Amino acid sequence: MSEQIAHLRTVLLEQIHTDAVQDIQLAGLQPALYIHPDYLVAVCRFLRDDPAFYVDFLSDIAAVDYFPEPYFEVVYQLASIPHQTQITLKVRCENDRSSTELPELPSVCSIWRTAEWHEREAYDLMGIFFTDHPDLRRILMPDDWEGFPLRKDYEDPATYHDIPVKE
């Protein structure tokens, strides 16, 4: 598996940009490539369109909060059904955790339509903003909910529309 991820890194550095891949994670259950946010869309489009990879399925996007550190990670679980391979991409989002400026990444909706729902969920629950998303709005929480409930520093409000939230 580590040979495959090293090969993929080499290909992306040659085909996309020398700064496209920031790091490789070999520890854990599934190796991952850390992608520079500026090259995320180009990397994803290349992985989808290149016949050697043909990554035709985005199975999940997950956001990870590293509180108290000032960053989040967004994890993309990708698969090629014909090649029976899986690829994990990670993108680190620096953010000062202020409520006025959200961490931001480009949307991959133009590459995989399933990203529309996954990105809305990451936005709604973790506050990751996806630029160029066609319909970025809350999907699980009410439209007027304040805050992002899966962040580690989130505190439940006492009430919501005069209904007790916590006791």
Q: Would you say the pTM of this structure is higher than 0.85?
A: yes
How many CB atoms sit inside 10 A of residue 157's CB? 12
Domain parsing of the chain, residue ranges: 2-164
Render each residue's pLDDT in the chain as its tens digit; 167 residues: 678 888 999 999 999 999 999 999 998 888 999 999 999 999 999 999 999 999 999 999 999 999 999 999 999 999 999 999 999 999 999 998 876 789 999 999 999 999 999 999 999 999 999 999 999 999 999 999 999 999 999 998 999 999 998 76
The span from the CA of 87 to the CA of 147, in Å, is 31
Homologous superfamily (CATH) of 2-164 is NADH:ubiquinone oxidoreductase Nqo5 subunit (3.30.460.80)
